[in-house]
Structure 1
Amino acid sequence: MKYNTRLGEIEINENEIITFEKGIPGFEHLRKFSVISLKDTLPILWLVSLEDENISLPIIDPWIVDKNYEIEISNEDIKELEIEDKEKVAVWAILTIPSGHPEETTVNLRAPIVINMEKGKGKQIILDTEKYKIKHKLSEFSFQE
């Protein structure tokens, strides 16, 4: 099926749709998203809304940013996302890229996006740790691609 997104018209298969039952904080009214990869922006990918073509969130693998990144998913979140196989879970960190000032980009390591790829269910979870902040300057990290 074709969807109009901020990144243009994109063909998305049913199995590539991720449902956020409660939306994402700030976008609670939106439920259907997909992860899009653009060659020109790698390693940054895009979590695009399939319901509002103006919404696309830049995301990155948190282990590229911090190779020692640790995440603990609560039993409640495991149940809600119906996670049975940890190998089928994707974890993404949302980037904030200030318009005209990409050097001031921050990464949210405190509240990652967790996706059960098998079931197409996603949720932004808040980690119960002071170790990570909602706004880490990306420039503080050396990338581990």
Structure 2
Amino acid sequence: MQINTTRFGSVSIQPSDVLEFPHGLIGLEPWVRWVVLADRENPGLGWLQSVDRADLALAVVSPRRFVPGYKVRVSARDVEPLGLPEGVNPQVVAPVSSHGGALSINLKAPILIGLETGRGRQVIAKDDHPVQHWLSGPATMRRSA
């Protein structure tokens, strides 16, 4: 199966690679079919690419890569639509945002992916995590004495 993207050009994927987000993503509810693509230049970065909209791709990372010990508490009701087998936990990724040269990840609204079922869901964590956990920022200018 071929999908067209504005960021990666034409990409060949398997139908089994398509993830269904029945409720969409927050703010992107109309688009429910996505695929995770690797970033060629940065192995720690992935792209959640819409299958149905070429210009829609979200950068995602494993939050544990930047916040050791990161855990997310969600209700069973939030995880149930993933249809995961008993005892299987979803893969957790966090959206990355760019703000004038600074990068942040959203730890408050992670994306849960059931790799076994091909379903995903963005949730609001019960934990007191920030919406913007800063990974980088512009260099601070210091005045020399």
Structure 1 and Structure 2 fold alike (TM over 0.5): yes
Supply the distance in 2 between the matched residues of 1:32 and 1:17 (Cα, whole angstroms): 6
Contact 1:45 1:59 survives alignment (8 Å)? yes
* Residue correspondences, number: 136
> For residue 92 of structure 1, what is the amino acid of its counterpart?
V
- Structure 1 residue runs without a partner (length 5+): 141-145
TM-score, normalised to structure 1's length? 0.87
**2:134 is aligned with 1:137:** yes
TM-score, normalised to structure 2's length? 0.87
Select the structure of larger CA radius of gyration: 2
Q: Which 10-residue stretch deviates more, 35-44 or 14-23?
A: 35-44
**Structure 1 ranges of 4+ moved more than 3 A:** 85-88
Shift of 1:39: 2.2
Supply the distance in 1 between the matched residues of 2:50 and 2:117 (Cα, whole angstroms): 18
Seq. identity, %: 26
CA RMSD for the aligned pairs? 1.6
Match of 1:29 in 2: 30
Whichever structure has more helix as a proportion of its residues is 1
* C-alpha distance after superposition, 1:64-87 (max 9, x if no partner): 011110112321122111121554
Supply the distance in 1 between the matched residues of 2:87 and 2:14 (Cα, whole angstroms): 23
Supply the distance in 2 between the matched residues of 1:111 and 1:4 (Cα, whole angstroms): 28
- Structure 2 residue runs without a partner (length 5+): 138-145
